[in-house]
Amino acid sequence: MKAIRLHAFGGPEALSYEEVPDPLPGAGQALVRIEAVGVNFIDIYRRTGAYPVELPCTLGSEAAGTVAAVGRGVAGVRLGDRVAYQGTLGSYAGLAVVAAERLVRLPEGVGARQGAAAMLQGMTAHYLACTTRPLGPGDTCLVHAAAGGVGLLLCQIARMRGARVIGTVSTPAKAALAREAHADDVILYAEQDFEAEVRRLTGGAGVQVVYDSVGRTTFEKSLRCLAPRGTLVLFGQSSGPVAPFDPQLLSQRGSLSLTRPSLTHYVATRAELLARAGEVLGWVREGRLVLRVGAELPLEHAAEAHRRLEARATTGKILLIP
């Protein structure tokens, strides 16, 4: 089979399209014939060594396809099942071996491309809005990168839960997408000071929660956008890691809370994985949660997908097609 391999940490040019042996499932595992692969910022972190992985490796941790074989002791999935998964390294390939307990069956009416676009970013948006800082009527949230893969889904889920949504984006075109995803107000951060705009839009009160996937360049202002006892949910660092700071600042700004969550801890058990994925995929099937696939590229063009994502030149999801 063909796969994207990483032999040394580096830029997009470090990604190599190679022929590798077909994998075989072991006990408790299934072999998935991959039809669509989700590209995510964590893939870039791993490629650069920011999140170390053992080399050489096949990148990618999200995909959807069909079960082509099962190992001993597998009861949860069967040959021919249409499935999706996230969190298992090796999805930039034609075939992947995945622990059967981490596979989710795709419901009728949801295709492989939708499954690959929904698992990581959809469940991330779900846990952010429903669990980490559950939103409800009367809440106002600020969503950075509101036209990105997680951002567009987070805006929709936040509005489902009755919250007011303020989004930040870089261009008018991205602002239009954020509004389509039901953001109530959109700030063009390249032209406007988002902190001042949040204060204006909330009458000086601030927001109950900021969902920040940007990190270094937004962190301090994000804190200043919060209402007293508000929560900054830092779930990414696309601009780089946040500099060290004195936690006493949280008290001085109004008994604020800061959390740095990871999807891994919100789908730690199979029961929680199935519940969270089931709700997300159910919303997709019903048309309540709209997925935007910004680009589909052949698997061999993985380096180009990384370049686009790093340059923030994308909206919605990028998929690779083996």
pLDDT band at 167 (very low <50, low <70, confident <90, very high): very high
Residue 237 has what pLDDT? 84
Quote the domain boundaries for residue 6: 2-120+267-321
Name which of 309, 304, 319, 322 is nearest 13 in CA terms.
304
Domain presence at residue 127: no
Are 163 and 82 in the same domain?
Answer: no
Helix/strand/coil for 31: strand
Residue 314 has what pLDDT? 78
Write out pLDDT tens, residues 208-249. 999 999 988 899 999 999 999 999 999 988 888 889 989 999
pLDDT band at 269 (very low <50, low <70, confident <90, very high): very high
Cα–Cα distance for residue pair 57/130, rounded to 1 Å: 34
Are 146 and 238 in the same domain?
Answer: yes
Domain presence at residue 109: yes
Write out pLDDT tens, residues 72-118. 999 889 999 999 999 999 999 999 999 999 999 999 999 999 999 99
**Which residue, of 242, 260, 278, is where some domain finishes?**
260
**Which residue, of 238, 260, 282, is where some domain finishes?**
260
Residue 261 has what pLDDT? 97
Domain presence at residue 29: yes
Cα–Cα distance for residue pair 238/306, rounded to 1 Å: 12
Q: What is the mean pLDDT of residues 177-205?
A: 97
**Which residue, of 211, 239, 260, is where some domain finishes?**
260
Are 144 and 236 in the same domain?
Answer: yes
pLDDT band at 312 (very low <50, low <70, confident <90, very high): confident
Beta strand spans in the chain (E): 2-6, 15-19, 29-39, 57-58, 62-70, 82-86, 95-99, 104-105, 140-143, 164-169, 185-188, 207-212, 226-234, 257-259, 293-298, 317-321
Are 72 and 187 in the same domain?
Answer: no
Cα–Cα distance for residue pair 287/106, rounded to 1 Å: 15
Write out pLDDT tens, residues 6-51. 999 999 999 999 999 999 999 999 999 999 999 999 999 999 999 9
Neighbours of 50 (CB within 10 A): 14
Number of domains in the chain: 2
Name which of 143, 179, 160 is nearest 284 in CA terms.
160
Are 252 and 273 in the same domain?
Answer: no
What CATH number has the domain bearing residue 41?
A: 3.90.180.10
Domain presence at residue 209: yes
Cα–Cα distance for residue pair 146/16, rounded to 1 Å: 32
Are 72 and 113 in the same domain?
Answer: yes
What CATH number has the domain bearing residue 197?
A: 3.40.50.720
Domain presence at residue 231: yes
Q: Which helix (H) or strand (E) holds 302?
A: helix 302-310
